[in-house]
Amino acid sequence: MKKNILLTAAALVTTLAGVAQWQPAGDRIRTQWGEKLDPQNVLPEYPRPQMVRGDWQNLNGLWDYAILPLGQTPDKFQGQILVPFAVESSLSGVGKSLGKDNELWYNHSFTVPAKWNGKRVLLHFGAVDWKADVWVNGVSVGSHTGGYTPFEFDITSALKKGANDIRVRVWDPTDDGYQPRGKQVNRPEGIWYTPVSGIWQTVWLEAVPQQYIKEVKTTPDLDRKSFRVEAPVCGAQPEDRIEVALFDGDTQVAKGSSLNGAAVELAVAEPKLWSPASPFLYDMKVSLVRNGKKIDEVESYTAMRKFSIGRDADDIVRLELNNEPVFQFGPLDQGWWPDGLYTAPSDEALAFDVIKTKDLGYNMIRKHVKVEPARWYYHCDKLGMIVWQDMPSGDRGPQWQMHNYFTGEEKHRSAESEANFRKEWKEIIDYLYSFPSIGVWVPFNECWGQFKTQEIVEWTKAYDPSRLVNPASGGNHYLTGDILDTHHYPNPRLTLLDTNRATVLGEYGGIGFVMKGHLWEPDRNWGYIRLNSPKEVTDEYEKYAEMLYKLIGRGFSAGVYTQTTDVEMEVNGLMTYDRKEMKVEPERIRKINQKLCNALSK
């Protein structure tokens, strides 16, 4: 007992000393949330809102780190890093680059609560970019590749009483590798941004029973007025039963059960529908029951909605929500932060962009070549924002022919690169599958890393037939998928029309406005055009919106304006990069946007 008290006291002294030393790296602009960040209380919210258990422990905070050449092992560490901020970020307290010839090492101590005795302990990582190897108390517990999806390891057998030690090794080549990386490059300029290496989402522990529910996968079917719920179990026994209950507030509206790993079907006679105007969510409880005894239970939620395409009275193919045509209109959302890079400084900050987008009258967000933490999609579900989800781009692309159907030669990836793309794309779809707000998968942006388009699109559609597939937003076009997507800057223009798929304008706008005091770099700023005041920007925005509105009757079924915020050297946001200033006149923008979103309403 005395030894444990001394260990705890020593750990507390070390933690307090680290907190006293931690400060953001560099002198670039910061958000209001970054400015008031408490290193002892970093992103404390439960990180997995679609599958909630009570027994968990957040491991975010100050960890030891070292950057060493490939193959070297640290005998001592170089300082402390604030997890979960990437090593290149200001809020990490480090602000150093990694590169393909080095590895980033982390070390952290933790104790397991006594009340977890008899349970299995899972170690979760929200996301680590790119390759992670993990040890607990010197025992290798697993490895993972892929910078955008969560993973976990059962570390029960590696644990000991008292203090336990986690060690993580990360390698991330950024654009020196083939892996999906989005807009990260080793030499940022123009539309290309700073690398993001290492842990960039919450790290946490979870206690589970010896047999437990591994995931909850929910598929709504509006036409059949039912939900399909799949809940695979780790260590399932033949007599184990999955029971699912669906709630509207405190009222149970449906229940069902299954054996042998079968899906549970829930029928709802008069389902309440989810939409941007009315984002209704059903609560759900999923239980593992054995011989009448509840072994495990998780809380979840779902929504009834349907994404499809259909012809209108003029025989134009439209995007539909709940069997009704809806003109989907929203910003290109990069999800970058000046102080946290990929990582929002707080959950309030993470929700802020979604709330602001909603306030500005949009009904959709295109999440651009990045995948967000689960809580971002939770905010979209709650607030009612349709999401188009890009696959982060990687490798190299072929010749670009955006304004005609492709006649060139496809890019041939290496077998290793192709296998990795397929693995990571499947993991992203699996991770995001049950979030109701996601309506469109976008495997490729422009021609960045585009390859085997028809095959990738057909696989995506078969793997998730509940959503639409936009093959290549502004990329090389093939007669596949549900959507034809062209880009045209700065003003909208209809350059190609498909009479059998929905035709959309996947990017336009990019109106630049430099606001001094809110710049990533004072002298290297970029936008498609450059204006000088919120009024000028809004006037130009309105001019483009009128052009787009007139093109809806000619065939456009959606539009995406570039972009939500400034990002690094890009100054074409609706807001500054630090989110401290609006660069447009909000009430005018809201009115303009609502006209577009309601363009197909009856």
Each residue's pLDDT tens digit, 110-154: 999 999 999 999 999 999 999 999 999 999 999 999 999 999 999
Tell me how far apart the alpha carbons of residues 397 and 411 are, in angstroms, rounded to a whole number.
6
User: pLDDT band for position 18 (50/70/90)?
Assistant: low
User: pLDDT band for position 523 (50/70/90)?
Assistant: confident
Instruction: Among 283, 302, 321, identify where a domain stops.
Output: 302
pLDDT of residue 334: 98
pLDDT of residue 80: 98
Residue 235 in any domain: the answer is yes
Q: Mark whether 282 and 337 lie in a shared domain.
A: no
Q: Mark whether 535 and 594 lie in a shared domain.
A: yes
User: pLDDT band for position 6 (50/70/90)?
Assistant: very low
Q: Mark whether 418 and 352 lie in a shared domain.
A: yes
Full DSSP string of 237-270: -TT-EEEEEEEETTEEEEEEEEETTPPEEEE-SS
At a CB cut-off of 8 Å and minimum separation 6, what does 141 contact?
A: 123, 134, 135, 153, 154, 155, 158
Full DSSP string of 267-319: E-SSPPBB-SS-B--EEEEEEEEETTEEEEEEEEEE-B--EEEEE-TTS-EEE
Q: Are 257 and 292 in contact (CB under 8 A)?
A: no
Q: Mark whether 454 and 408 lie in a shared domain.
A: yes
- Would you call 462 helix, strand, or coil by DSSP? helix
- Between strands 502-509 and 556-562, the pairing is parallel
Q: Which two tokens stand for residue 333?
A: 């959302």
For residues 579-590, give the mean pLDDT.
98
Q: Which two tokens stand for residue 135?
A: 């040890």
Q: Is the pLDDT score of 10 beyond 50?
A: no
Residue 500 in any domain: the answer is yes
Q: Is the pLDDT score of 401 beyond 80?
A: yes
Q: Mark whether 103 and 235 lie in a shared domain.
A: no
Q: Is the pLDDT score of 11 beyond 70?
A: no
Residue 56 in any domain: the answer is yes
Percent residues over pLDDT 70 in the chain? 97
User: pLDDT band for position 217 (50/70/90)?
Assistant: very high
Residue 87 in any domain: the answer is yes
Q: Mark whether 370 and 409 lie in a shared domain.
A: yes
Return the CATH number at 252: 2.60.40.10
Structural domain harbouring 284 = 215-302
* CA within 13 Å, CB half, 58: 17
Q: Mark whether 443 and 315 lie in a shared domain.
A: yes
- Would you call 49 helix, strand, or coil by DSSP? coil
Residue 114 in any domain: the answer is yes
Return the CATH number at 337: 3.20.20.80
Q: Mark whether 378 and 496 lie in a shared domain.
A: yes
Tell me how far apart the alpha carbons of residues 24 and 471 are, in angstroms, rounded to a whole number.
40
Tell me how far apart the alpha carbons of residues 333 and 74 are, in angstroms, rounded to a whole number.
39
Main-chain dihedrals φ then ψ at residue 477, nearest 5 degrees:
-100, 140
Q: Mark whether 321 and 368 lie in a shared domain.
A: yes
pLDDT of residue 4: 46
Instruction: Among 254, 274, 302, identify where a domain stops.
Output: 302
Each residue's pLDDT tens digit, 525-567: 888 899 999 999 999 999 999 999 999 999 999 999 999 999 9
CA-to-CA separations, 74 to 155, 225, 458, in angstroms, rounded? 23, 57, 46
Residue 24 in any domain: the answer is no
Residue 2 in any domain: the answer is no
Tell me how far apart the alpha carbons of residues 318 and 307 are, in angstroms, rounded to a whole number.
11
Q: Mark whether 282 and 419 lie in a shared domain.
A: no
Count the neighbouring beta carbons within 10 Å of the beta carbon of residue 514.
16
pLDDT of residue 527: 86
**Mean of the per-residue pLDDT values for the chain?**
95
Q: Mark whether 377 and 513 lie in a shared domain.
A: yes
Instruction: Among 302, 333, 349, identify where a domain stops.
Output: 302
Residue 36 in any domain: the answer is no
> What would you report as the CA-atom Rg of the chain, rounded to the nearest whole angstrom?
24
Q: Is the pLDDT score of 13 beyond 50?
A: no
Q: Mark whether 345 and 285 lie in a shared domain.
A: no
Q: Which two tokens stand for residue 59?
A: 């491991």
Provide the domain count of the chain.
3
Each residue's pLDDT tens digit, 234-287: 999 999 999 999 999 999 999 999 999 999 999 999 999 999 999 999 999 999
Greater model confidence, 3 or 27: 27
